[in-house]
């Protein structure tokens, strides 16, 4: 994405054989250098089987998440099944197309067709991806994803480790990315976020030398 430095953050999403993994950092930047918040949540659940990662303006992002949650819930009630990930991404793209370019988003999850992942650019463009990264740290994170995801399909454990590795690498090379990381996994059973002890296990597995 051009002007990636505009969106001070790093978020990563990737598809594995039975689901989708998201990982993000938690640093929130105000202006160009000030760390306004150290534990900002950048991966957010939309419905039972979908989630979004956000980069850019917090106000726009929170509003988008509100819209998508209402849309997903209404869809479920009116139609009797959970909205597909593609449809949810399309709703987000319309919302972004109608507003000033202020955020980048990754939407992913699990529906009747299996796992899927979409990137939405600030103008509302949609692309379907197997792995993707947004934010100022994305050039660094994409390098890690690109070199580590050479197989057609990866399993959950490997997917989580690669996603975390990508975010940790961005944290060490991008000043707008840092503090801590979050991990969320969506598969057939639904959405879950990794707890502190689970994240520590992954840190041990990744074993980075800084």
Is 79 among the residues that bind another protein (CB under 8 A)? yes
Rounded CA Rg of the chain:
16
Is 99 among the residues that bind another protein (CB under 8 A)? no
Closest distance between another protein and the C-beta of residue 85, in Å?
Answer: 11
Stretch touching another protein by CB under 8 A, among 76-84, 97-105, 139-147, 186-194: 76-84
- Give yes or no: 9 in active site: yes
Stretch touching another protein by CB under 8 A, among 74-82, 142-150, 152-160, 173-181: 74-82
Which has the closest alpha carbon to 18: 49, 42, 45, 44?
Answer: 49
Is 90 among the residues that bind another protein (CB under 8 A)? yes
Sorted by sequence, the CB contacts under 8 Å of residue 158 that are 6+ apart come out as 16
Binding mask 14-53 for another protein (x = CB under 8 A): ----------------------------------------
Q: Which residues bind another protein (CB under 8 A)?
A: 78-81, 83-84, 86-87, 89-91, 94, 112
């Amino acid at each position: 994405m051009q002007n990636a430095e505009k969106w001070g953050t790093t978020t990563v999403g990737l598809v594995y054989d039975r689901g989708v993994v998201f990982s993000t950092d938690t640093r929130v930047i105000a202006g160009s250098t000030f760390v306004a918040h150290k534990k900002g949540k950048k991966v957010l659940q939309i419905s039972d089987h979908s989630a979004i990662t956000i980069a850019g303006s917090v106000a726009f992002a929170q509003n988008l998440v509100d819209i998508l949650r209402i849309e997903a819930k209404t869809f479920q009630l009116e139609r009797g099944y959970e909205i597909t990930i593609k449809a949810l991404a399309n709703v987000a793209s319309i919302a972004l197309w109608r507003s000033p370019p202020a955020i980048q988003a990754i939407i992913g999850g699990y529906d009747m067709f299996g796992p899927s992942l979409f990137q939405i650019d600030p103008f509302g463009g949609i692309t379907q991806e197997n792995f993707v990264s947004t934010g100022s740290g994305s050039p660094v994170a994409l390098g890690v994803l690109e070199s580590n995801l050479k197989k057609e399909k990866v399993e959950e454990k490997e997917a989580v480790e690669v996603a975390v590795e990508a975010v940790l690498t961005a944290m060490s090379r991008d000043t707008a990315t840092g503090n801590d990381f979050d991990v969320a996994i969506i598969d057939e059973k639904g959405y879950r976020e990794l707890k502190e002890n689970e994240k520590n296990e992954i840190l041990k597995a990744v074993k980075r030398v800084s």
